[in-house]
Structure 1
Amino acid sequence: MTWDLLVAGGRLADGGQADIAISDGVIAAVGPGLPRDASDIVDATTKLVTPGLIDLHTHVGAGYWGIDPDATAWYSGVTTWVDAGSAGAYTIDGLRRVAAGSALRIPALLNISAVGLAGRTGESRDLGNCDVALATDTLQKHRDLLRGVKVRIDRDTVGDNGVEPLRRGLAAAGRAGVPVMVHIGTAPPSLDEVLDLLRPGDIVTHCASGIAAPLGPAVHAAVERGVLLDIGHGSGAFAFDVLERQLDAGLRPHTISTDLHARSLHGPVFDLPTTMAKLLAAGLTLSEVVTATTEAPARALGLPGGRLVPGAPADLAVFAVREEEFEVTDAHRQVRRSPLRLVNELTYAGGRALIPRLPAPVPPWIPLTDAQRAALARRDRSLRALLATPLVGVDGLAEQFPRESEPRENRSS
């Protein structure tokens, strides 16, 4: 048998090494010393090979927060982008079109507010938007796309409605048999009110938020009954000091996600490998951070992938592991040093290597610092210079259409 692709000799996160054979978009075989019988062989003997990363909290497509995932996936190793509540019942068809047009997997969480995240905040101030029956019907109709319910609970989002949007989200999720992901932030309502409502398998995102600071007994009680903690870094929801206190108290994040969106893409998040490095800086092991970005999120939402086993989707990421300390920053400009840097070199989705994509311009409503604007301008100039320069010189060319050996005008008649 000839495989389509063989990724040979890659280092695994648990310290082992293996060959990974791929045929027809799925993993056909995994193990040492597989036959070198493949249409394409990639030597990964010095690289870290992981399942395609699964980012449990992102925002894609249109709206205030949305980004184009394909423009980031190819250099970050993320092949599954869980859209966490960008769309509600009124706007789910638009998200479905975005997912259908992408080379990536884009499962989603349905916003309990039918209007979704068209704007910055406030989607659950009108409880008329938080229609349980409509959300339930939408979940049932789009079961192939929707894996849960998203509810944002903070003062700006819910206004005077407290935890009622969460109660409604839980009711819809219960009827559909799916989990709820709840965003925590500025009180009221209080964090304890939010946590006390959650069920086993529900997810608290922004779990190391410096604003919500989830550190009390209610957090321990929630984790003990099976509630999952998700990082959800975002532009304002990850603080090193909070995470370090949680780790000291025995609270560990179950999943590591970016909350990558239009306001966090250019910093402080940047991408999932950078976020993973921040967890390494806090003391987690490489094996832990890989599990928290592959197998753990796959289990949390019942997603395909997350493991390098025969029959799994052929979603893979190949990284160079640079064992060099470098500076990483949280959402509040607290600095730590990561012991290593993960640099993506190849990303495969369904057995096909993702190709480079240029990023879209920054939307005009996104606030940027002068330094960010200058860096984006430098990047644009560098890309222009790179692409405007001829790819190779004469020594790198071949004569594709050779001339006849003697010009016609020099021939005798």
Structure 2
Amino acid sequence: MADLVITGARIIDPANGLDTSADLYIQDGRIVHIGNGGGFPPGGAEVGRIIDAKECVVTPGLIDFHVHAYEHVTPLGINLDGRCLSRGVTTAVDAGSAGCSTLNGLRKFIKDQSKCRLYAFLHIASHGLASAALAGLKDGGEIDSLNQVDVDGCVTSVRDNRDFVVGIKLRISVAISDNGRNEPEAYRRALQAAGEAGVPLMVHHSFSTVPTVRTPGVLSCPGDLRAGDIFTHAFHWHKGCLLDKETGRVYHDVWEAKRRGVLFDIGHGFGSFAWLEAEACTKEGFWPDIISTDLHTASVDGPAYDLTTVMSKMLHLGMPLNDVIAAVTSKPAAAIGKSQEIGSLKIGNEADITILRLDKCSIELEDTRGETRTITERIVPVRVFRSGVEYPIQEIVPWPNSASKEKCQKACKQYAAYAQSKQSL
């Protein structure tokens, strides 16, 4: 018997090399069969609920690799089920909201209370993002004091929470590091902690005194990242971006980092995705390894909205659909060492499944500068199953949000003024 059968859809499962029309069978919350009928269930056993997914795409449950889900504790925290699961995301990865002093609360009050599966990158600062807001709009943040950058505490916390913590997070920016004075040392400690703990390091690098281009005797980013480490906010437009502003091309050292296995994540957010930078990078063939939202209180009502919106933006830029799906399923799962549990439709795995629809449209979508592009195809979540249980999809209203464009344009001017004030650093 099968509790649930999803029929008639195009199944895309990059981890298993699947792009086919087939039926998907679920029993007791697990995937038990993928096929085109005939001989399953065996012996003519009964089938329970049947969902006709004709003209839809069935994928492994989507993974949002960069969110901030420590709601009511950090200024950036959003509701995990209300903003992720309800939009087709079955697994989210919190990007450094908690440090070693605050991780237990993230586990008890968010992870254990949510239907959406949650993993976490542990912030190198012991208090995480408890008092931190957006880097680049005003001064003040988590590494203003190096007393909080506790390598031993961080490593111990990772080792004690292997089921939950999948990496270490660091933001390097003049705004949050005592005007840049603490950036190199915090970066060095984060690299050390990740190495000792045997986990990847995710780095946010913008408005930074740490150079993008390798410089003898000086730490650079992504130059000193290692294979498996993650450079997030790949298409941001601030100082420290991947583009040489003089040539308009991706720095050689960035390409070299990608070749040696450093991963590049979108991390859209409120200030970290620009159409112009994205177009320049992708024109060269520089595509992200991972697509994520950096969903938080300032980005959730635009300009990021949800994961399928960011996926739609990448589709508009020319990223093939199968690559887009891989960047939100198999690739993020592999990046955190969870390929056996999530990111695929492997037989026997929990039935984390997202059903998507590709809608033709003509809609202007804003980037984080308030600039727009007209997209002609939109990826829309239709249904979502977490461990075989269906949860309701909630529409985003309004989408797109005209107020978001205006908000981003205003912030763009504020970012420019802030950058001007820091030119001497």
Paired with 1:41 and 1:357, the residues of 2 have a C-alpha distance of 22
Deviates further, 7-16 or 104-113: 7-16
Paired with 2:347 and 2:148, the residues of 1 have a C-alpha distance of 44
Deviations 1:328-382 (A, max 9, x none): 22111221222311221211001000146799xxxxxxxx77988xxxxxxxxxx
Paired with 1:315 and 1:141, the residues of 2 have a C-alpha distance of 27
Cα offset for 1:74? 4.0
Q: Tell me if the contact between 2:382 and 2:393 (Cα under 8 Å) persists in the aligned partners.
A: no
Residue 171 of structure 2 corresponds to residue 167 of structure 1: no
Label 1:74 to 1:147 Cα distance change in 2 as closer, same or farther (>3 A). closer
Q: 1:137 aligns to what?
A: 156
Find the residue that maps to 1:325 and give its secondary structure: strand
Bigger Rg over Cα = 1
Alignment-mate amino acid for residue 366 of structure 2: T
Residue ranges of structure 2 left out of the alignment (5+ in a row): 13-17, 134-139, 214-219, 244-250, 397-402, 408-425
Deviations 1:54-103 (A, max 9, x none): 01100002311101110123442101110000000110011001100101
Cα offset for 1:316? 0.6
Residue 130 of structure 2 corresponds to residue 118 of structure 1: yes
Deviations 1:130-162 (A, max 9, x none): 111110000001110000000011111222112
Cα offset for 1:183? 0.6
Q: Using the aligned pairs only, state the percent identity.
A: 37
Find the residue that maps to 2:157 and give its secondary structure: helix
Q: Tell me if the contact between 1:277 and 1:328 (Cα under 8 Å) persists in the aligned partners.
A: no
Q: 2:65 aligns to what?
A: 56
Paired with 1:166 and 1:5, the residues of 2 have a C-alpha distance of 49
Residue 242 of structure 2 corresponds to residue 214 of structure 1: yes
Alignment-mate amino acid for residue 7 of structure 1: I
Cα offset for 1:38? 2.4
Cα offset for 1:320? 2.1
Q: 1:297 aligns to what?
A: 332
**What number of residue pairs does the alignment pair up?**
363
Residue 230 of structure 2 corresponds to residue 195 of structure 1: no
Match of 1:86 among 97, 112, 115: 97
Residue 210 of structure 2 corresponds to residue 204 of structure 1: no
Paired with 1:12 and 1:358, the residues of 2 have a C-alpha distance of 23
Residue 308 of structure 2 corresponds to residue 309 of structure 1: no
Find the residue that maps to 1:326 and give its secondary structure: strand
Q: 1:325 aligns to what?
A: 362
Cα offset for 1:43? 0.9
Alignment-mate amino acid for residue 146 of structure 1: V
Residue ranges of structure 1 left out of the alignment (5+ in a row): 360-367, 373-413
Label 1:339 to 1:12 Cα distance change in 2 as closer, same or farther (>3 A). farther
Find the residue that maps to 2:354 and give its secondary structure: strand
Paired with 1:39 and 1:168, the residues of 2 have a C-alpha distance of 54
Cα offset for 1:174? 1.0
Q: 1:147 aligns to what?
A: 166
Deviations 1:5-61 (A, max 9, x none): 111121124652121111222211112226474221111122111111001100002
Q: Tell me if the contact between 2:383 and 2:392 (Cα under 8 Å) persists in the aligned partners.
A: no
Cα offset for 1:189? 2.3
Paired with 2:197 and 2:143, the residues of 1 have a C-alpha distance of 21
TM-score by length of 2: 0.82
Residue 38 of structure 2 corresponds to residue 31 of structure 1: no
Paired with 2:356 and 2:274, the residues of 1 have a C-alpha distance of 26
Residue 128 of structure 2 corresponds to residue 101 of structure 1: no
Deviations 1:203-261 (A, max 9, x none): 00001111132121221111111100100000000011111111122311000000000
Q: Tell me if the contact between 2:366 and 2:405 (Cα under 8 Å) persists in the aligned partners.
A: no
Deviates further, 166-175 or 7-16: 7-16
Deviant stretches of 4+, over 4 Å = 356-359, 368-372
Q: 1:349 aligns to what?
A: 386
